[in-house]
Structure formats: structure tokens, C-alpha cells
Amino acid sequence: MSATHPISLSVNGEEISRLVEPRETLADFLRRDLQLTGTHTGCEMGVCGACLVLLDGRPVHACLTFAVQASGAVVETVEGLTESAEIADLQRAFHERNALQCGFCTPGMLVSAHGLLTRPGVPSREAIRDALSGNYCRCTGYEAIVDAIEAVARRRAAGESAVRFLEEPA
Amino acid sequence: MVTNLDWKRTIGACRLLKARAFTYVRPATVAEAIEAFAAAGGEASYIAGGQSLVPALALRLQAPECLIDIAHIEALRGIERQGDRLRLGALTRHVDAHDDPLIAQYAPLLRLAAPHVAHPAIRNRGTLGGSVALADPASEFPAMMLAMDAEMEIAGPEGTRRVPADAFFQDVYQTAIEPGELLVAIHVPVAGPHHRCAFDELARRRGDYALVGCGVMLAMPGDVIDDARIAFLSVGPTPVRARAAETALSGTRLDEAAIRNAQIALSEDLDPSDEAHMPATMRLHLARVLLGRVLGHLGATA
């Protein structure tokens, strides 16, 4: 065991200060230290995309970042995005279109989709597929996921906000 | 050839591990970083984006005693034009290579190569300096340094020096950077209106490591090619400049005959080795096909 290191960071809008071992990944920190288990650990080597979180506003692999590196940063997990309702329309579209089966990849898919949809313009299906190229799904065959993201991109372009979907029953 | 892809293939064979314990320091200046390396007795690694280093630590292919986080050193940041050069701070991220307007204008080859580098989330965190310093022969950016005639600015205990790309890449993961030295910035000659450039690669799936990749930079003030620089990735232990193909193109109008001659000349430039999944003859064939496509694209848009 190496000496622990003090870190301070913002997680889902809350200022957090903890002591961590330098070798603890951000993914393990979120899951073990903060019980934010929506961030999934799959391959733990930056291949599967299940652990994606927003780090200073951009989707990154929480398994490829040590928690100490994130000290001073702003982290948002799927729990934070859910609470703020920023992705309520995406979540609903995933549900409606059967864009998940086992659900293991879903948090990472949502973070990738959120990253894509915060960029300007309406992405093509090809651009959506490209944005998901680092997210593995072993259930759906991706088609339904692309459908869901495409539908939300169009609705948002037509002026619908994510929050509108929050109160409606799924 | 050991590449990142090979590490990732070990996923089925190897028990997944966490990184061995290490100490962590976050210097504020280049001088502090270099001091920290010396203080660790050389058993240290610099970390910036960590997108190649962290998997290597998780698989215990590397186990430094100290990680020196250089991501907060201001002198390693920034993209700015300095006379006839574009200075790219080593911390420039892959996503910046894709999005930054100065890069699009003055180093367009980086812009063209960026979408081929890994996946979006990796590009959000991986740095240009990290990619170039790692010198994975299957990576896009190191080869583009050769095609762009970039210079690497390297800081060490004795001060700062500059190394041209042609002398920088020495072997698999081996560069002119000595242990303890730090890549500070990359200086790229500014591309002008008379430059034409193109990039393409062949991969089994999008985002996979390229079977072969190629970037081309042509100085073409009129109809005739004044100067050509061609670089390949995934064809040997380092990125490779195709000098015979460059010579075959110089002074031509980039017509079919010139492109064919450049393709033929590649057998002098490239000497790939036989690998389990691909014989050398196939890789050379793919390199020729790719060069034909890239040059054909440039010819059609000239």
C-alpha cells in the first residue's frame, strides 16, 4: 500500500474531498468510495466504454484516469446526468426503442450520446455510429441504440428539451 | 511488433490487474517535472492523458515507482503561430487536432488524421505529445510528424533542444527523447495555399489499429509537384518516410503515370516483416493500394 493522497473534486455538483491511493482509478473511486455504481467497469483498459463519465464536460474513460489526476476537475456520472434531467429524453428513447437489454453498456452509451448531442448540428447515422465506436454492446446489435439517439437528435433540433420527458410515465 | 492492439488482445489470455502502487506528484513547471524524475532515481513515468500508459500499468507491462503528472504545466499548453511555424504544446489533445481552427488552417494533415485516432473518448483525453513521445508505429500522429517535417522540442536537465522528425523515431517505442527528458512542444512548418495534403488508412474496423496508413503533403505551387513528403504507419518498427516514392512524384503533374511510379517505388521504401495475420507481401500491396487512393484523391481535387 502506498501513501494516500488528498484530492478534491466536484462530482455531480457536490464538492468532494477524500484521501485516495494514487493507483485507484477514477472508476473505482466513483464506485467504491462514492457508491456511484452507475459507472460500470468492464474491460478496465479503455476498450469497452462502460465506464465513461464527463470529465470537465467531455466523455472520458473513468478506468483510464487515476482519481488523483482528476483532483480539481468537474466530474459528472450517469447518476448526475439523470438527476439533472439533462438526458431524460435519451433515457426515455432508449427505453421506448429497446436500446438496452442487459443494460451493462447503457451508462457509457448515454454519456457518449450526450457528448455527441452537445456538439452543434444534427448528427447523421454514420456520425452516431462513429461516436459509439468505443462503446461495446453485446446485446442489441447497436441498431436500436442508433435509432434512439437519432430520434432524440431530431426532436432536440425541433426544439424539444430533455426536461419535458422527465415527468411523463415511461 | 508490439502494439497497443497486442495488449488489448491479451485481454482474453491475461488476468486483469490493477496498477502496482506508485507515488504521485503534480509539478507546476517543466523544471520541477525533470527534477522529480531525477529524484525518483529514474524509476518514474511522466503521465499526461495516460490513454496508453494507464492500460500498460493495469496490465503491469510497466510498473514505475512514481507517476509525474505533467497535465497541469502551463508551458506545455497552447496552439499558436510563431512566424512560419505552428507551435503545438505537448498537451494539445487529439480532439483539438480535430477541432482547432489554427490546426485546420496551418497543419491540416493533423486535422485529417485525427478522426482515425482511436475513439472519441480517447481523443478527448489523449495528447499529441503523448502519442508522439510513445511512438507506437501503428499510431497516426507520429507518422504525420514525418510527413509534416515537424520538429520536436525536448527539455532535459541540460536545457532544451530540438530534433527533426526524421531523426526522432528510432525503433519500436524508441525516440530521441532520453530518460528523464520531456517533450515540450511540436513545431510544424505552416502549410500554405500551395500545399495539398491527404490522409487515409486501411483498418479491419473503424477505430481499430490501421493495417497500413498513409499521410501525404505536397508542395504544388502550380500544376507541378515541387516537393513531396509521404509517411506510412504500421509498416515496420517506426513510422516510415517513403523517399523513393517522394522522388518519383517530384517534378510531375500527379498524373496516372506518376502515381503508378510512386506505387512501384514503394518496394524500395518499405520493408515490412511477415506477421502471423499478414504476410509482408500483402502489407506492401495494401500500402500501394492506399498510396494510389491518397494520391488519386489529391489528383482529382487538384
Instruction: Check CB contact under 8 Å for B18 and A23.
Output: yes
Both B13 and B63 in one domain: the answer is: yes
Q: Tell me which of A21, A45, A54, A133 to substitute to probe the interface with B (most B C-beta atoms closer than 10 Å).
A: A45
Residue A83 cell numbers, joined:
438527476
Instruction: Check CB contact under 8 Å for B119 and A22.
Output: no
Cβ atoms of A98 and A148 within 8 Å: the answer is no
- The model carries a pTM of 0.93
CA distance A38 to chain B (A): 18
Both B99 and B152 in one domain: the answer is: yes
CA distance A16 to chain B (A): 19
Give the domain-ending residue among B164, B189, B214.
Answer: B189
String of DSSP letters for A49-101: -TTEEEETTEEEEGGGSBGGGGTT-EEE-HHHHHHTTTTHHHHHHHHHTT--S
Per-residue pLDDT of chain B (302 residues; tens, 9 = 90+): 334 445 545 554 455 679 999 999 999 999 999 999 999 998 999 999 999 999 999 999 999 999 999 999 999 999 999 999 999 999 999 999 999 999 999 999 999 999 999 999 999 999 999 999 999 999 999 999 999 999 999 999 999 999 999 999 999 999 999 999 999 999 999 999 999 999 999 998 766 789 999 999 999 999 999 999 999 999 999 999 999 999 999 999 999 999 999 999 999 999 999 998 899 999 999 999 999 999 999 987 75
Report the CATH number at residue B9: 3.30.43.10
Q: Which residue of A has its CA nearest to B119?
A: A134
Both B82 and B181 in one domain: the answer is: yes
> Which of B21, B57, B115 faces A21 most closely, judged by CB atoms?
B21
CA distance A36 to chain B (A): 20
Both B80 and B174 in one domain: the answer is: yes
Report the CATH number at residue B246: 3.30.390.50
Question: Which domains occur in chain A, in start order?
Answer: 5-81 (3.10.20.30), 85-161 (1.10.150.120)
Q: For residue A143, what are the CA distances in angstroms to A42, A147, B142?
A: 22, 6, 35
B252-265 per-residue burial string, b: 16 or more CB within 10 A, e: under 16: bebeeebbeebbeb
